[in-house]
Homo-oligomer: A and B are copies of this chain.
Amino acid sequence: MVGKVKPRLPRGMRDILPQKMILRQYVIGVITQVFEQFGYEPLSTPAVELFDTLTGKYGPDADRMMYDVSRKGGKEKLALRYDLSVPLSRVMAMYPDLHKPFKRYQISPVWRGERPGKGRYREFHQCDVDVVGTDSMLADAEMLNIIYEVMTRLGFQEFLMKINDRKMLTGIGQFAGVPEELLGGLYRSIDKLERIGLDGVKDELRANAIPDEVIGKLLELLQVTGDDRDILAELRGRLAAYPIALEGIAELEEVLGYLENLGIPRERYEVDFSMVRGLGYYTGPIYETVVQEPRIGSIGGGGRYDELIGMFSDRSYPATGTSFGIERIIDVMEELNMFPPEVGTTISQVLVTVFDEAQVGASLQLTNELRRAGLNTDLYFENDPLGDQIRYALKKGVQFVVIVGPDEIAAGEVTVRNLSLKEQRTVEREVMADTIKDWEGCRER
């Protein structure tokens, strides 16, 4: 045993106290339900991976942000996982017998030593859903369908799924004559279109040593407007000489067709050639979900990555997937009061009070009955006045209080007080649980 330790958290880390955890569990519950209703299976990978598994997959800054967990005197160089896609790729390579297409979801924390800030933590959850082993555009459309279902069930109404295709971006680069080594800068500039406008992009491209002539051709393309289908048809003509672009156009047209079949409202998605996403391992359709009202920006995205698994295996598998960042979703839902009323501030629905020491046995039995009836039931432990016990329930947000004193015991009854309606009923003990469940406004859990 050592001296007193000042209780502190590491930089960028946080505790999630019960009231916030209840909101979090609600959001994770909705997402899990959608993932499972779409037939995706749960998978778990360890928090600790070999450093060699992770390094070189995420781009230049990532290695610096990884948590090194190598053990003293250990032979292995270890790191905390940085996302869930690379571990999935390792899994696919390690267990070649997993039958394909392999549909899995994983909802787990990842760790990144970024500079902490408002709403930005060094440990945060990713909710990933992926399918490995199919190159069908049905799978890509399914990802957008999943995003639509999750957002709608969480109560978001004004959101937009922006869709692009990595092959289109490559084709556009070829068309504009951008040398291979400048493509990265080109994409990063295009990605800023919405924020800095056409002139801003033009300036950036110049600063990136992209010739004026190329810039002209490029901006002409980016300014083609109209209905998604019309734009794609127009580009099919202009980019006819670039097979990779035509492939991208065909992929996007196929995905759009499926979204129409699925009845996803037209205003919830659009093709946006300026949406790039950190390109890394993407090879086909990519997408990003932006919440427009309120203007909170991207809350997740994903895309097709047909080459990543090949980094671990002699065989490559086509794959596509999407990821939800729940931290921002939860913050926004809380700010906008979007949680259904039954979510509440406590998981407890009933508090059983203790009248006095002689009546403890009766109270204990009632708690058991209520719990077995499926009601979340808190028992008051101390021998305090009834007023204190009720104040405890009020403070915690528990809706019902059960009181059982000598009179009630003698009569085979209990008194149930509904704190939100400020009503009270004395009922036969047998109907106690049903009385509570049927009471107007009883929150289901």
Contact = CB atoms under 8 A, between A and B. Distances in A.
A14 interface: yes
A142 B379 contact: yes
Contact of A39 (B91, B98, B136, B377): B377
Nearest to A392: B99
Interface residues of A, number: 106
A13 B78 CA distance: 11
Given A94-B8, A138-B360, A43 B17 contact: yes
A332 interface: no
B136 A382 contact: yes
A103 interface: yes
B48 A378 contact: no
A347 interface: yes
Given A139-B381, A365-B261, A371 B17 contact: no
Contact of A76 (B10, B47, B381): B10
Contacts of A383: 136
A67 interface: yes
A316 B431 CA distance: 42
Given A71-B113, A134-B381, A98 B46 contact: no
A21 B5 CA distance: 38
A18 B92 CA distance: 13
A82 B365 CA distance: 37
A101 interface: yes
A22 B314 CA distance: 30
A425 interface: no
Nearest to A262: B364
A55 to B, nearest CB: 7
B69 A80 contact: yes
A70 B382 CA distance: 43
Interface of A: 1-2, 4-11, 13-18, 21-22, 24-25, 36-50, 52-53, 55-57, 67-72, 74, 76, 78, 80, 90-91, 93-95, 98-99, 101, 103-104, 109, 111, 113, 122-123, 131, 134, 136, 138-139, 141-142, 145, 149, 258, 261-263, 311-314, 346-348, 351, 354, 360-361, 364-365, 368, 371, 374-379, 381-383, 392, 395-396, 445
For the complex of A and B, 4 pairs with smallest distance between CB atoms: A39-B378, A18-B41, A2-B56, A261-B361
